[in-house]
A and B are shown apart, each in its own frame.
Chain A
Amino acid sequence: MPTFNDILIMAPEFYLVAAACVLLLADAFMTPEQRPQLHWISIVVLLVAGCLVIAGQPAQAVTAFGGMFVRDNVAEILKVFALGTTALVMVYARPYLIDLKLLIGEFYTLMIFAVIGIMLLVSAGNLVTVYLGLELLSLSSYALVALNRDAKLPSEAAIKYFVLGALASGMLLYGMSMVYGASGMGGTPSLDLASLHHVMAYTTAPKLLLFGLVFMLVGIGFKLGAAPFHMWIPDVYQGAPTPVTTFIASGSKLAAFGMAYRLLDAGMGDLSHQWQLMLAVLAVASLAIGNLVAIVQTNLKRMLAYSTISHMGYLLLGLAAAGPEGYAAAMFYAISYALMSVAAFGVILALARKGFECEEISDLKGLNQTSPWMAFLMLLAMFSLAGVPPLFGFWAKVLVLEAAIHADMLWLAVVGVVFAIIGLYYYLHVIKVMYFDKPAEGSVLQAKPDVTLRVMLSLNALSLLALGLYWGPLLGWCRRAFGL
Chain B
Amino acid sequence: MFNHLLSLLIWLPVAGAIPVLLAGSARPNTARWLALIVAVLTLAASLLLLVQYHPDAGGMQLSESYLWIASWGVHYSLAVDGISVALIVMTTFVGILVIVGAWEVIQDRPHQYMAAMLMLEGLLIGVFCATDALLFYALFEAILIPMFILIGIWGGPRRVYATLKFFIYTFFGSVFMLIALLYLYQKAGTFDMATLAALPLTMKEQTWIFFAFLIAFAIKVPMVPVHTWLPDAHVEAPTGGSVVLAAVMLKVGTYGMLRFILPITPDAGAHFAWLVIGLSLVAVVYIGYVALVQEDMKKLVAYSSVAHMGFVTLGIFIAFMLVREQGNTDMAQLGMQGAMVQMISHGFVSGAMFTCIGVLYDRLHSRQIKDYGGVINVMPWFGFFYVLFAMANSGLPGTSGFVGEFMVIMASFSANPWIALFAAFTLIIGAAYTLWLVKRVLWGDITNPHVADMKEINGRETFVLVAFAAAVLALGIWPQPLVHLMNTSVSQLVQQLAIHKI
Q: Is B471 an interface residue (CB 8 A)?
A: no
B185 within 8 A of A: yes
B 161-186 to A, binary, CB cutoff 8 A, 1 in contact else 0? 00110011001100110110011011
Nearest CB of A to B478, in Å: 40
Inter-subunit contact A417/B175 (CB<8 Å): yes
Give min CB distance, A408 to chain B, whole Å: 10
Whether B308 sits at the interface, judged by CB under 8 Å, is no
| Interface residue stretch chosen among B138-146, B283-291, B322-330, B455-463 | B138-146
Chain B interface secondary structure, helix, strand, loop or mixed? helix
Complex: chain A residue closest to B143, CB-CB: A389
B186 touches A406 (CB 8 A): yes
For A432, give its contact among B70, B152, B176 (CB under 8 Å).
B152
- Choose from B142, B171, B182 the contact partner of A402 (Cβ within 8 Å): B182
A residues 397-429 in Cβ contact with B at 8 Å: 398, 401-402, 405-406, 410, 413-414, 417-418, 420-421, 424-425, 428
A413-B182, A475-B69, A484-B71 as given contacts; A432 in contact with B160, CB under 8 Å: yes
Establish whether residues A472 and B152, one from each chain, have CB atoms under 8 Å apart when the complex forms: no
Question: Is residue A436 contacting chain B, with contact meaning CB distance below 8 A?
Answer: yes
Instruction: Determine if A58 is an interface residue (Cβ-Cβ < 8 Å).
Output: no
Shortest CB distance B220–A (Å): 15
The interface residues of chain B lying within 8 Å CB-to-CB of A475 are 69, 71-72
Is B183 within 8 A of A410, CB to CB? yes
User: How far is the CB of B145 from the nearest CB of chain A, in Å?
Assistant: 6
- B149–A435 touching, CB < 8 Å: yes
Other-chain contact of B167, A394, A402, A424 (Cβ < 8 Å): A424
Q: Give which listed residue, A383, A398, A418, contacts B182 with CB less than 8 A.
A: A398
Residues of A within 8 A of B178 (CB): 398, 401, 417
Nearest-Cβ distance from residue B58 to partner chain A, whole angstroms: 31
Q: How far is the CA of A414 from the CA of B177 in the complex (A)?
A: 11
- Chain A residues with CB below 8 A from B148, complex form: 428, 431
How many A residues touch the partner, as a band?
20 to 34
Q: Which of B378-434 contact A (CB under 8 A)?
A: none
Q: What is the chain B residue whose CB lies nearest that of A433?
A: B160
A383 to B112, CA, bound (A): 18
Which chain A positions have C-beta within 8 A of B32? Answer: none
A-B interface pairs (CB < 8 A), number:
85
CB distance from B297 to the nearest CB of A (A): 24
Minimal beta-carbon separation of B72 from chain A (angstroms): 7
Q: How far is the CA of A470 from the CA of B178 in the complex (A)?
A: 19
* Contact mask for chain A residues 345-378; partner B; CB cutoff 8 A; 1 contact, 0 none: 0000000000000000000000010001000000
Closest CB in chain A relative to B269 CB, distance in Å: 22
- CB neighbours of B72 from chain A (8 A): 475
Q: Which residues of B sit under 8 angstroms from A472, Cβ to Cβ?
A: 68-71
B159 within 8 A of A: yes
- Say yes or no: is B153 at the interface (Cβ < 8 Å to chain A): yes
Nearest opposing residue in chain B for A475, CB measure:
B71
Scan A327-359; emit 1 where CB is below 8 A from any B CB, else 0: 000000000000000000000000000000000
Q: Which residues of B contact A471 (CB under 8 A)?
A: 69
- Say yes or no: is B33 at the interface (Cβ < 8 Å to chain A): no
The minimal Cβ–Cβ distance linking B146 to chain A, given in whole angstroms, is 11
Hey, which chain A residues are within 8 Å of B163, CB to CB?
432, 436
Q: Which 6 A-B pairs have the closest CB atoms?
A: A389-B138, A417-B175, A472-B69, A436-B152, A389-B141, A402-B182
Interface residue ranges, A against B (CB under 8 Å): 368, 372, 383, 388-390, 394, 398, 401-402, 405-406, 410, 413-414, 417-418, 420-421, 424-425, 428, 431-432, 435-436, 470-472, 475-476, 479, 484
User: 18 A-B Cβ contacts within 8 A?
Assistant: A388-B145, A388-B171, A389-B141, A390-B139, A402-B185, A405-B183, A413-B182, A414-B176, A421-B175, A424-B168, A428-B167, A428-B168, A431-B152, A432-B160, A432-B163, A435-B149, A475-B71, A484-B71
Other A-B contacts than A402-B185, A436-B163, 14 sampled, CB-CB below 8 A, are A390-B142, A394-B141, A401-B179, A417-B175, A417-B179, A421-B172, A424-B168, A425-B168, A432-B160, A435-B149, A472-B68, A472-B69, A472-B70, A476-B70
